[in-house]
C-alpha cells in the first residue's frame, strides 16, 4: 500500500509540475507577444549599435583620419589643369549652376515605407536656394501627392512642403513608363535606387549641373567647381577613400566619364552589394580613367560620414558654450563646419530612425546640435507656423 501511494503521489507531483511549466511557458509567450512592439525597437537599436561599433566593424576604416591630397585641393579650389591635348586650348564652358533633385519614383500609396516628401526634403531643397544660390532648381518626380494617391503625377502641390517651395523650383514629371524604360536588363533585380542612379546620370549627361540627393545640403556656392576643366566632379566617401559617392555630383553635359558609367549598367551585376553601382563602380572607373574626372577630399561633400559615431556627433545636444563655438566657426566658414566643406550629406539611411524623423521646424530653430546649426538658416520665416507643422 505504501509503495502504491508513493508511486502515485510522485506521478501526481510530476503531472502538476508539467502543467505548471506549460502554464509558465504559455504566460511567457503571451507576455512576449504583448510586449514585442515595445521591446523590439530597443532590441533592434541595441543590435544595430553592436553591429556598427564592435572592434571589427568596417566603420572604423570609413571614419579614419585623412589628409587632403594636392590633386584634391586643386580640384576643390578650381586650379585643376586641363588634360594635355594636341589641339589648341579653348575656354572651358562653365557647368550650369542648375541643381537637380529626384524624389518619388516609388509610390507610397502601395509602398508606405518609401515615405512622402517631408520636412527634411524641404530643407535639402532650400539649401540649394540659400546655400548654393542655384540659378535653377528642378525637382524630378513621379509621385508627390500627400496623402498618397494611386495615380502618378496626382496633384503634387497637395504636399504642403512642395507647395511651400513651388515659387523656387521647377517640377519635372517622369512617367512610370519612362522610368521602366531605364531598366535595360530585363529580369534583373532592379530597385528604385538603381533607377534613380540611372536617371541622375542621364539628367547630368543631357543638361549638366549639380545633382543632390534629397538628404544632401548645399552649404556654399559651388563656384570654383563649376569652372573645372574636367567634365565631372565627385567626392570621396570615407577617410579610406574606398569609393566615390553619387549622392552629390557636379557635371558638364556630355561627360565622357558618365558615358562610361552608364554603359556599365548594360552588364553590371545588380545583385552586388547595394552601393556597388553608386560608390564602388565610379571609383573603379576613376582609377582607370583619371583624366576624365576631378575628385574631392572626403571633407568637401561626405564628412562626417555615415558611421554610428559620426551620425551621433552631428545630432548630439550641444552645451551653450559648444553652440557658441560652432556658431562662430560656421559663420567664419561662410556656412560650413570646416574650411573644405561645401555640402553635407545627412545619410538618412543611417540617421532617419535615430534623429531625422524626429525633427520639426521648432526643434531645428531652438535645439542646438551641429546639424541644426548648419541647416537653421534654410528655414523660411513662416515655416513652423500651425499651417506647416
Last residue of a domain, one of 275, 298, 321: 298
pLDDT tens profile 160-207: 999 999 999 999 999 999 998 887 655 556 677 788 999 999 999 999
Radius of gyration from C-alpha coordinates of the chain: 26
Q: How many domains would you assign to the chain?
A: 2
337 and 250 part of one domain: no
Give the pLDDT confidence score for residue 225 in this predicted structure: 98
279 and 334 part of one domain: no
107 and 227 part of one domain: yes
Q: Residue 1 domain-assigned?
A: no
Give the pLDDT confidence score for residue 276 in this predicted structure: 84
Q: Residue 30 domain-assigned?
A: no
If you average pLDDT over every residue of the chain, what do you get? 88
Residue 214 confidence (pLDDT) above 70:
yes
Q: What is the pTM of this model?
A: 0.86
Hey, CA dihedral for 130, 317, 308, 190, is it positive or negative? Answer: negative
Give the pLDDT confidence score for residue 389 in this predicted structure: 46
Give the pLDDT confidence score for residue 28 in this predicted structure: 67
Pairing of strands 98-103, 136-141: parallel
Rounded distance between C-alpha atoms, residue 78 and residue 270, angstroms? 35
pLDDT tens profile 361-376: 999 999 999 999 999 9
263 and 337 part of one domain: no
**Residue 176 neighbours by CB under 8 Å, 6+ apart:** 142, 152
The side-by-side arrangement of strands in the sheet containing 98-103 is 170-173, 136-141, 98-103, 209-212, 243-251, 232-237, 294-296
Residue 2 confidence (pLDDT) above 70:
no
Q: Residue 53 domain-assigned?
A: no
Give the pLDDT confidence score for residue 319 in this predicted structure: 98
241 and 351 part of one domain: no
Q: Residue 388 domain-assigned?
A: no
How large a percentage of the chain has pLDDT more than 90? 71
Give the pLDDT confidence score for residue 5 in this predicted structure: 45
Last residue of a domain, one of 266, 298, 330: 298
Query: Half-sphere exposure of residue 71, counting CA atoms within 13 Å on the CB side?
Result: 11
Q: Residue 57 domain-assigned?
A: no
120 and 248 part of one domain: yes
313 and 242 part of one domain: no
Q: Residue 374 domain-assigned?
A: yes
122 and 201 part of one domain: yes
218 and 253 part of one domain: yes
Q: Residue 25 domain-assigned?
A: no
pLDDT tens profile 78-126: 999 887 654 444 567 899 999 999 999 999 999 999 999 999 999 999 9
Residue 320 confidence (pLDDT) above 90:
yes
Mean pLDDT for 376-380 is 98
138 and 117 part of one domain: yes
How large a percentage of the chain has pLDDT more than 70? 80
Give the pLDDT confidence score for residue 86 in this predicted structure: 46
373 and 276 part of one domain: no
Q: State which residues form the domain around 202.
A: 67-81+92-298
Give the pLDDT confidence score for residue 20 in this predicted structure: 67
Q: Residue 257 domain-assigned?
A: yes
* Cell numbers describing residue 200: 541622375
Confidence of residue 387 (pLDDT cuts 50, 70, 90): very low
194 and 73 part of one domain: yes
Amino acid at each position: 500500500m505504501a509503495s502504491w501511494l508513493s508511486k502515485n503521489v510522485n506521478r501526481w507531483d510530476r503531472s502538476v509540475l508539467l502543467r505548471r511549466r506549460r502554464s509558465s511557458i504559455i504566460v511567457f509567450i503571451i507576455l512576449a507577444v504583448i510586449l514585442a512592439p515595445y521591446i523590439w525597437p530597443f532590441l533592434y537599436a541595441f543590435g544595430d549599435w553592436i553591429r556598427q561599433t564592435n572592434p571589427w566593424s568596417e566603420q572604423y576604416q570609413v571614419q579614419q583620419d585623412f589628409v587632403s591630397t594636392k590633386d584634391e585641393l586643386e580640384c576643390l579650389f578650381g586650379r585643376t589643369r586641363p588634360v594635355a591635348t594636341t589641339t589648341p586650348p579653348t575656354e572651358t564652358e562653365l557647368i550650369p549652376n542648375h541643381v537637380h533633385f529626384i524624389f518619388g519614383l516609388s509610390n507610397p500609396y502601395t509602398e508606405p515605407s518609401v515615405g512622402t516628401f517631408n520636412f527634411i526634403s524641404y530643407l535639402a531643397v532650400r539649401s540649394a536656394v540659400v546655400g548654393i544660390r542655384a540659378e535653377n532648381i528642378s525637382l524630378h518626380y513621379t509621385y508627390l501627392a500627400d496623402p498618397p494617391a494611386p495615380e502618378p503625377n496626382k496633384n503634387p502641390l497637395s504636399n504642403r512642403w512642395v507647395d511651400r517651395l513651388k515659387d523656387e523650383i521647377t517640377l519635372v514629371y517622369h512617367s512610370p513608363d519612362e522610368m521602366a524604360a531605364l531598366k535595360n536588363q530585363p529580369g534583373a533585380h532592379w530597385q528604385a535606387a538603381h533607377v534613380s542612379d540611372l536617371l541622375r546620370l542621364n539628367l547630368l549627361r543631357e543638361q549638366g549641373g549639380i545633382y543632390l540627393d534629397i538628404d544632401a545640403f548645399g552649404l556654399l556656392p559651388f563656384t570654383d567647381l563649376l569652372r573645372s576643366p574636367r567634365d565631372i566632379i565627385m567626392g570621396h566617401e570615407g577617410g579610406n577613400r574606398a569609393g566615390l559617392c553619387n549622392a552629390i555630383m557636379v557635371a558638364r553635359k556630355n561627360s565622357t566619364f558618365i558615358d562610361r558609367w552608364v554603359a556599365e549598367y548594360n552588364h553590371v551585376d545588380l545583385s552586388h552589394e547595394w552601393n556597388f553601382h553608386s560608390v564602388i563602380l565610379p571609383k573603379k572607373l576613376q582609377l582607370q580613367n583619371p583624366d576624365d574626372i576631378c575628385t574631392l577630399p572626403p571633407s568637401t561633400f561626405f564628412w562626417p560620414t555615415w558611421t554610428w559615431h559620426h551620425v551621433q556627433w552631428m545630432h548630439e545636444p550641444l552645451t551653450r558654450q559648444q553652440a557658441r563655438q560652432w556658431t562662430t566657426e560656421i559663420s567664419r566658414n561662410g556656412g560650413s563646419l570646416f574650411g573644405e566643406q561645401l555640402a553635407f550629406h545627412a545619410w538618412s539611411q543611417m540617421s532617419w530612425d535615430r534623429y531625422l524623423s524626429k525633427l520639426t521646424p521648432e526643434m531645428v530653430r531652438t535645439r542646438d546640435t551641429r546639424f541644426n546649426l548648419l541647416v537653421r538658416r534654410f528655414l523660411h520665416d513662416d515655416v513652423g507656423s500651425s499651417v506647416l507643422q
